[in-house]
């Protein structure tokens, strides 16, 4: 069996998968609140160092040597995926319905047809019914949503909206400039951000969200700003060039395995015959 050919082919597939992640990051470089995704490519030496004390055969034996030799033919593969939750650059919009979160691992809660989801995209607006919604039309939720099941609503007379650093909203009284306390943004801090699952539309799914208490004293809400994507375009372009070069190297290895080595083997067999 030509293990070198199959290992190179599998390595190429791994780089294609990595390239897909890089391309998605670059496509969302200007998406508000987007977080950069990354993959970890495993190699034999790293995996061996982590598991060498748990090999199924005693070390320094023929069986152990055979096991290691078989393991060395395994190709690189993606062993882990993760999302960089660091805070992106803040951009001032002066829109009172735009909100940003200045700390990482904090999220706004919104209501979607699939249930309550989390987002970092705080570029909100008001629909014709006076409800606070996202760009996709999902309702932005108050911190007491799981108690009263209501959203955040404004009347036509409430044309002044202010928020403090904890997400507490204040609106003017009808036909007045005096302010009254209204709803409070539902801000969530997941216990384990690694369990967040991206679902598209800049949304995250998190299990047991209904049992989580809102973070009432976040101190992180900034009104009139949006958080830009944390994708580093220069770094992504560098990784794309590196990935394309690796694909070319694997392709060259496959070509060498199938053409040069096979031709050499055929010629040697012909001479012996």
Q: Is there a single domain that holds both residue 223 and residue 103?
A: yes
Residue 223 pLDDT exceeds 80:
yes
Residues 147 and 19 in one domain: no
Same structural domain, 112 and 195 = yes
Tokens found for residue 264? 């050499």
Q: How would residue 62 be classed by pLDDT, with cut points 50, 70 and 90?
A: low
- For the segment 46-56, the average pLDDT, to the nearest whole number, is 58
Amino acid 1: pLDDT: 47
- Which residue in 92, 93, 86, 100 sits closest to 235, CA to CA? 86
pLDDT of residue 74: 63
Instruction: Compute the average pLDDT of residues 180-200.
Output: 92
Do 41 and 157 sit in the same domain of this protein? no
Angle at 135 between CA 24 and CA 208, to 5 degrees: 75
Q: Over 80: is that where the pLDDT of 10 sits?
A: no
Same-domain pairing of 78 and 148: no
* Residue 71 to residue 3: CA distance in whole angstroms: 11
Both tokens of 133, joined, read: 């919604």
Residue-range definition of the domain harbouring residue 9: 3-85+231-272
State yes or no: pLDDT of 16 exceeds 70.
Answer: yes
Tell whether 133 and 248 lie within a shared domain: no
Q: Which one, of 174, 176, 177, lies nearest residue 155 by Cα? A: 174
Q: Is pLDDT at 256 greater than 80 in this prediction?
A: no
The overall average pLDDT reported for the chain is 85
Residues 223 and 254 in one domain: no
Express each pLDDT in 123-154 by its tens digit: 999 999 999 999 999 999 999 999 989 999 99
Residue 71: strand, helix, or coil: helix
pLDDT at 120 over 90: yes
- Give yes or no for residue 39 having a pLDDT over 80: yes
Rounded distance between C-alpha atoms, residue 246 and residue 144, angstroms: 52
- Co-location of 138 and 246 in the same domain: no
User: Is 189 found in the same domain as 175?
Assistant: yes
The number of folded domains in the chain is 2
Q: Three-state SS string across the chain, please?
A: CCHHHHHHHHHHHHHHHHHHHHHHHHHCCCCCCCCCEEEEEECHHHHHHHHHHHCCCCCCCHHHHHHHHHHHCCCCEEEEEEECCCCCCEEECCCCCEEEECCCCCEEEEEECCEEEEECCCECEECCCCEEECCCCCEECECCHHHHCCCCECCCCCCCEEECCCCEEEEECCCCCCEEEEEEECEECCCCHHHCEEEECCEEECCCHHHCCCCCCCCCEEECEEECCCCCHHHHHHHHHHHHHHHHHHHHHHHHHHHHHHHHHHHHHHHHC
pLDDT at 269: 60
pTM: predicted TM-score of the whole model, two decimal places: 0.78
Check whether residue 70 and residue 104 sit in a common domain: no
Residue 200, phi then psi, degrees to nearest 5:
90, 165
Residue with tokens 């987007």: 34
Q: In the structure, what pLDDT confidence band is assigned to residue 157 with cuts at 50, 70 and 90?
A: confident
Q: Are residues 222 and 264 in the same domain?
A: no
Share of the chain above pLDDT 90, in %: 56
215 and 97, same structural domain? yes
Buried b (16+ CB within 10 A) or exposed e, 40-62: ebbeeeeeeeeeeeeeeeeeeee
């Amino acid at each position: 069996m030509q293990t070198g050919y199959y290992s190179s082919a599998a390595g190429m597939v791994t780089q294609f998968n990595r390239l897909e992640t890089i391309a998605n990051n670059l496509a969302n470089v200007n998406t508000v609140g987007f977080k950069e995704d990354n993959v970890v490519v495993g190699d034999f030496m790293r995996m061996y160092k982590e598991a060498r004390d748990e090999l199924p055969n005693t070390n320094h034996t023929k069986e152990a040597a055979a096991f290691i030799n078989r393991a060395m033919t395994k190709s690189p593969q993606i062993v882990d995926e993760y999302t960089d939750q660091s805070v992106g650059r803040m951009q001032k919009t002066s829109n009172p319905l735009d909100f940003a979160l200045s700390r990482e691992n904090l999220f706004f809660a919104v209501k979607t047809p699939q249930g309550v989801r989390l987002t970092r995209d705080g570029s909100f607006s008001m629909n014709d019914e006076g409800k606070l919604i996202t760009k996709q039309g999902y309702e932005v939720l108050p911190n007491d949503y799981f108690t009263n099941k209501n959203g955040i609503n404004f009347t036509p007379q409430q044309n002044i909206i202010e928020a403090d650093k904890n997400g507490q909203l204040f609106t003017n009284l009808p036909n007045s400039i005096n302010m009254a306390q209204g709803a409070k943004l539902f801000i969530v801090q997941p216990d384990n951000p690694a369990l967040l699952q991206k679902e598209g539309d800049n949304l995250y799914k998190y299990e047991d969200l209904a049992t989580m208490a809102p973070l009432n004293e976040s101190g992180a809400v900034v009104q009139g700003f949006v958080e830009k994507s944390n994708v580093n375009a220069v770094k992504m372009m560098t990784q794309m060039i590196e990935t394309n070069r690796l694909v070319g190297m694997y392709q060259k290895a496959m070509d060498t395995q199938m053409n040069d080595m096979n031709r050499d083997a055929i010629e040697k067999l012909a001479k012996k015959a």
